[in-house]
Amino acid sequence: MGELRSSAAAFEQLVAPYEKQVYYLCLRMMGNAHDAQDCAQDAMLRAFRAFHSFRGEAKVSTWLYTIAHRACVDALRARKPQVSLNTLQEQGWDAEDTAPTPYAQLEQQERKRLLEQALTQLNEEQRAAIVLVDLQGLLYDEAAQVLDIPVGTLKSRIARGRQALAQLLKNYRELFAPSSRPNIEREGK
């Protein structure tokens, strides 16, 4: 019983700092808060059950992301329909917006909506690679380890995914073009 408590305490100490990141990974993979909560909870339960086998060969975060990714993939395969990320904003997920004007904030929201919509149209492999690297900020090595694929395969999935996103968003170039000038010109001022 004492060993169980010590392993539970060790698990809590190592894993607690990553709970939010695991949830956000699940949210981006699943497309809605309810499914994300279920997958994050499943991932944490799987991690707790497998904690005795964690040898520290990988970072704790990489190990957890791997488990969370697998939980999401299992859930996605079980339900099969297209994942809709359009409801993220309605579910309370909103990146901190530093835009100085209401117009710029509106543009940012539209970019976000279009990107989330385009992400749902990527295949599962490309979406997972882009979410881990571009949205979660994992290094290529870490993301490849999470997905259990070679780094070269990860890079090609990211490249193909980015190309597909660019194609899907080509009609909205004015919203996605890099620009250092203020958006006042488009505001009509």
* Stronger pLDDT, 54 or 48, i.e. the higher one: 48
Query: Mean pLDDT highest for which of 50-54, 123-127, 180-184?
Result: 123-127
**69 three-class SS:** helix
* Stronger pLDDT, 103 or 155, i.e. the higher one: 155
* Residue 45 shares a structural domain with residue 122: no
- Enclosing domain of residue 164: 97-189
The closest alpha carbon to 11, from 42, 45, 39, belongs to 45
Helix (H) or strand (E) holding 74: helix 60-79
Query: What's the 3-state SS for the chain?
Result: CHHHHHHHHHHHHHHHHHHHHHHHHHHHHHCCHHHHHHHHHHHHHHHHHHHHHCCCCCCHHHHHHHHHHHHHHHHHHHHCCCCCCCCCCCCCCCCCCCCCCHHHHHHHHHHHHHHHHHHHCCCHHHHHHHHHHHHCCCCHHHHHHHHCCCHHHHHHHHHHHHHHHHHHCHHHHHHHCCCCCCCHHHHCC
Tell me the average pLDDT across 74-81: 77
Q: What's the rounded Cα separation, in Å, for the pair 107 and 85?
A: 18
Chain segment 121-139, per-residue pLDDT in tens: 999 999 999 999 998 889 9
* Stronger pLDDT, 1 or 132, i.e. the higher one: 132
* Residue 103 shares a structural domain with residue 144: yes
Q: Hey, how many other C-beta atoms are within 10 angstroms of the C-beta on 80?
A: 6
Looking at the structure of the chain, the number of domains it has is 2
Task: Check residue 164 and give its pLDDT.
Answer: 93
The closest alpha carbon to 156, from 85, 147, 67, belongs to 147
pLDDT surpassing 80 at residue 27: yes
Chain segment 2-11, per-residue pLDDT in tens: 454 567 888 8
* Residue 59 shares a structural domain with residue 5: yes
Picking from 59, 88, 117, the residue at the C-terminal end of a domain is 88
Stretch among 13-27, 46-60, 124-138, 171-185 having the lowest mean pLDDT? 171-185
Task: Check residue 182 and give its pLDDT.
Answer: 44
Instruction: Please report, for the domain that includes residue 55, its CATH number.
Output: 1.10.1740.10
pLDDT surpassing 50 at residue 187: no
pLDDT tier, 1 (very low <50, low <70, confident <90, very high otherwise): very low
* Stronger pLDDT, 96 or 182, i.e. the higher one: 96
| pTM, full prediction | 0.55
Number of H helices, E strands in the chain: 10, 0
* Residue 37 shares a structural domain with residue 66: yes
